[in-house]
């Protein structure tokens, strides 16, 4: 999602607009954009979303760091009641233009995954980076698909087994007169 432009909320920044300096931005979608993002992410609503990002030149690309804060409305996985709750998260992404010598190269063979290693940089489709797409992507990662409304507990009860007609007859036959 981070590489291309989203259809719901888009804040493109051309790489050459970044120049060689540090850029600090605050992003906040309007009500219509929040409604579109909520629909995209399967939320009941997205009452608030703001992101504070710092963009720095990184190799021949960009490093984006920052955080987002949101208020989402979801359905409780237990009671199915709608409820609002806050979400926040950190954003840390590196991206390079297509054709960069620093872009990950497909090897055609199995790759060892090291969870401690930094993620490889994203490769941009064109000469612009969609900052909103990264915010939405990171918000999506923080959403609990089985969110529970505070105070709602899941109570499991073993299903009641119906007695077979033969068991009922056996119980009648075993009763003492």
Structure confidence by residue, pLDDT tens digits, 13-26 = 888 877 778 999 99
pLDDT for 90 beyond 80: yes
Mean pLDDT for the chain overall: 84
Percent of the residues in the chain that have a pLDDT greater than 90, as a whole number: 46
Report which secondary-structure segment, H or E, holds 165. Answer: helix 165-174
Measuring CA to CA, which residue among 22, 23, 27 is closest to residue 11? 27
pLDDT for 77 beyond 90: no
Q: Which band of pLDDT confidence, cut at 50, 70 and 90, is reported for residue 159?
A: low
Q: Provide DSSP, 98-140.
A: TT-TTSPPP-SS-----TTSPPPPEE-SSSEEEHHHHHHHHHH
Tell me which of 109 and 62 has the higher pLDDT: 62
What's the pLDDT score for residue 176? Answer: 63
């Amino acid at each position: 999602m981070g590489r291309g432009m989203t259809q719901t909320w888009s804040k493109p920044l051309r790489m050459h607009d970044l120049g060689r300096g540090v850029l600090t931005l605050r992003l906040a979608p309007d009500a219509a954009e929040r409604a579109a993002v909520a629909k995209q992410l399967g939320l009941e609503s997205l009452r608030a979303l703001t992101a504070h990002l710092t963009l720095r030149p990184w190799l021949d690309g960009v490093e984006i760091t920052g955080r987002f804060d949101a208020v989402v409305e979801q359905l409780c996985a237990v009671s199915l009641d709608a409820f609002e709750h806050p979400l926040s998260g950190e954003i840390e992404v590196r991206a390079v233009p297509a054709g960069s010598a620093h872009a990950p190269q497909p090897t055609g063979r199995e790759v060892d995954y090291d969870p401690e290693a930094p993620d490889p940089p994203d490769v941009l489709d064109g000469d612009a980076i969609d900052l909103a797409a990264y915010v939405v992507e990171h918000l999506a990662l923080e959403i609990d698909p089985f969110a529970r409304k505070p105070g709602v507990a899941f109570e499991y009860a073993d299903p009641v087994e119906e007695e077979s007609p033969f068991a009922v007859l056996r119980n009648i036959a075993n009763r003492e007169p």
